[in-house]
Amino acid sequence: MGNLTTVGALLIAILAHTAYKSYIAPPHVPSPYEHFFSESYYDARALFRDSARAANAKLHAIPYPIESMDLTIDVAILPGTSPSSLVIHLSGMHGVEGFAGGAIQSALLSNASFTSAAHVPTIVFVHAVNPFGFAKLRRFNEHNVDLNRNHLTPEEFTAARARDPNHAGYEDISHLLNPPEHNDMAFWLGSVYSVLTRGFLAVKRAIVAGTYHNPRGIFYGGHELEPSHRLLHAFFAAQFDLATITRVAFVDVHTGLGPTGAATIRTNKPDLAPLLFPGCLLASADDGALAGYEDVQGSGVQGYKATWFQTASTVVTVTQEFGTVSSSAVVRGVIIESAAFNHHPESRLAAAELVRDVFYLHDDPQWKHAVANQGIDGLQNIVAHWSELFDGQVV
């Protein structure tokens, strides 16, 4: 029985690996959105700025504190008719995932048509929340911190470090997630063994819960609030009287998980998801692309919601996740890049390109079209159905 299990595990691993390696982009089909997708952070930033100027948006560039690199978090503001209402659209919270979110933002700015609604909120596009990760083609920032595990209070950081580092099972599989040098056979065999003995959802839960104890680990939450979060809070506090904002909608765009080109939505308004994101997949705790996230803390959007606005404000949060390749291929790419970044920087470029390829299907025009189309429709629907989003109140 043991030999059969081993052989089965090996076959599954080889098949999974082969399936990833044999991914071929479909034939080119012209799309009106393709030119909004870029090949580098700097190209994406230039396109975002040009699109913002064309839309007569108020454009701001927040310098990012790495002197050796020209990095900024760029913000475009389209003033609305309702001063107490705000939509905040975020790209690049996870660095390299910003290619998709940035393209959606540039497309929206280039074709801005939100004035048909009776009450138009001010719309704020935040391009490249993690500009270092975007520029360097990595998910994490310059401190190896995952910004979506990092927005905690000092007390919460203390509690996270005091908690058992293996509370969700991360330490049990840390040898697979954080090797000093990647070995494909060891990864596939170890992964399949872990899934067979623990269950897929338990393994996923252990991975995404992350760590607050291993600074070189993937999904590391850090030990203090990272510059991106501090800079954005300071910017919004300076630009807006946050105490007077009563209705807010966040849209945070990500890539990687779920069926290729499909959008999975996690929101605190799930009843309105079919109206705002028709045809989307709705995240659930037990099934789908965003299952297994119940032990995750420190989300950027949840942190902004908790610390930027008054408790009386109504804040709607939306995570929009676009599927790329298989989840095992995504995790493999993150592990390979992390090993190179932390232990073999001289070989990181090839690993970084691999990470780009699992989070951004840059040679797949159909994927780009699906992402842009769903991303544009989603934000336009939020604005068009603003009253329904906030329980039918006139704003």
Q: Render the burial of 334-353: b for 16+ CB within 10 Å, e for the rest.
A: bbbbbbbbbeeeeebeebbe
Output the six-digit token pair for 80: 């609305």
How confident is the model at residue 2, as a pLDDT?
45
Provide the whole-model pTM: 0.92
CA dihedral of 153, 157, 159, 161, whole degrees rounded to 10: 180
Task: Residue 187: count other Cβ atoms within 10 Å of its Cβ.
Answer: 20
Q: What is the pLDDT of residue 387?
A: 86
pLDDT in tens, the chain (395 residues): 444 443 344 445 444 544 444 455 566 667 789 999 999 999 999 999 999 999 999 999 999 999 999 999 999 999 999 889 999 999 999 999 999 999 999 999 998 776 555 678 999 999 999 999 999 999 999 999 999 999 999 999 999 999 999 999 999 999 999 999 999 999 999 999 999 999 998 999 999 999 999 999 999 999 999 999 999 999 999 999 999 999 999 999 999 999 999 999 999 999 999 999 999 998 875 666 667 788 899 999 999 999 999 877 899 999 999 999 999 999 999 999 999 999 999 989 999 999 999 999 999 999 999 999 999 999 999 999 998 888 654 44
Domain boundaries, the chain: 40-389
354 Rama sector, left if φ>0, alpha if ψ -120 to 50, beta otherwise: alpha
Q: For residue 143, which phi and psi values (nearest 5 degrees)? A: -95, 15
Question: Who's near 153: CB < 8 A, 6+ residues apart?
Answer: none
Give backbone dihedrals phi and psi of 128, rounded to 5 degrees, phi first. Answer: 70, 70
Given a contact cutoff of 8 angstroms between Cβ atoms, the answer to whether 311 and 240 are in contact is no
Q: In which residue are the tokens 């676009």 written?
A: 322
pLDDT of residue 332: 97
Q: Which residue has the tokens 């992350």?
A: 210
The CATH number of the structural domain formed by 40-389 is 3.40.630.10
Q: What's the angle, vertex CA 202, arms to CA 200 and CA 203, rounded to 5?
A: 65
